[in-house]
Amino acid sequence: MPEKTKSRPRSGCPVSMSLEQFGDRWSLLIVRDMMVRGHRTFKEFQGSGEGISSNILADRLKTLEAAGILMTEPDETDARRMNYRLTQKGIDLAPVMLELLIWGAKYEATAAPCGLIDQMEKGREQVLAETRRRWRERDSTPLIPRFDEMPQDTSTRSNERRKK
Amino acid sequence: MPEKTKSRPRSGCPVSMSLEQFGDRWSLLIVRDMMVRGHRTFKEFQGSGEGISSNILADRLKTLEAAGILMTEPDETDARRMNYRLTQKGIDLAPVMLELLIWGAKYEATAAPCGLIDQMEKGREQVLAETRRRWRERDSTPLIPRFDEMPQDTSTRSNERRKK
DNA sequence: AGATTCACTTGCGAAATACAAGTGAATAAT
DNA sequence: ATTATTCACTTGTATTTCGCAAGTGAATCT
Q: Min CA distance, B39 vs chain A (Å)?
A: 15
Residue B162 lies in a domain: no
Which H or E run includes B82?
strand B82-86
Cross-chain residue pair A111–B13, CB shorter than 8 Å: yes
Residues A102-157: tens digit of each pLDDT: 999 999 878 889 999 999 999 999 999 999 999 999 999 999 878 876 655 444 44
pTM over 0.85: yes
Residue B87 CA to residue A106 CA, distance in Å, equals: 14
B57 within a domain of the structure (yes/no): yes
User: Has residue A146 been placed in a domain?
Assistant: no
CATH number at residue B35: 1.10.10.10
Residue B65 lies inside a defined structural domain of this protein: yes
- Helix, strand, coil percent values for chain A (each to nearest 5): 50, 5, 45
Task: Judge if the beta carbon of B3 is closer than 7 A to nucleic acid strand C.
Answer: yes
Number of domains forming the structure of chain B = 1
Separation of B25 CA and C16 C1' (Å): 12
B8: closest CA of chain A, how far (Å): 9
How many CA atoms lie within 13 Å of A34's alpha carbon, on the beta-carbon side? 29
Is B19 within the bounds of a domain? yes
Strand B70-74 to B82-86 pairing = antiparallel
pLDDT by residue, tens only, chain B of 164 residues: 443 344 566 778 999 999 999 999 999 999 999 999 999 999 999 998 889 999 999 999 999 999 999 999 999 999 999 999 999 999 999 999 999 999 999 998 778 899 999 999 999 999 999 999 999 999 999 998 788 766 554 444 444 444 33
Task: Confirm whether any atom of chain D, the nucleic acid strand, is less than 7 Å from CB of A159.
Answer: no
**What is the C-alpha separation between A41 and A62, in angstroms, rounded?**
13
Q: Considering only CA atoms, which of A75, A84, A77 is closest in space to residue A46? A: A84
Nucleotides of C under 7 A from a protein CB: 5-11, 15-22, 24-28
Full domain range(s) for residue B101: 14-143
CA pair distance B66, A64, nearest whole angstrom:
31
Helix or strand (DSSP H, E) at B73 = strand B70-74
Residues in chain B closer than 8 A to A118 (CB atoms): none
C-alpha to C-alpha distance for B13 and B33, rounded to whole angstroms? 28
> Is residue A107 a part of any domain in this protein?
yes
Q: Is A164 within the bounds of a domain?
A: no
- On whether residue A57 sits in a domain, the answer given is yes
Q: Is B50 close to A100, i.e. CB distance below 8 A?
A: no
**H or E segment and range at residue A71:** strand A70-74
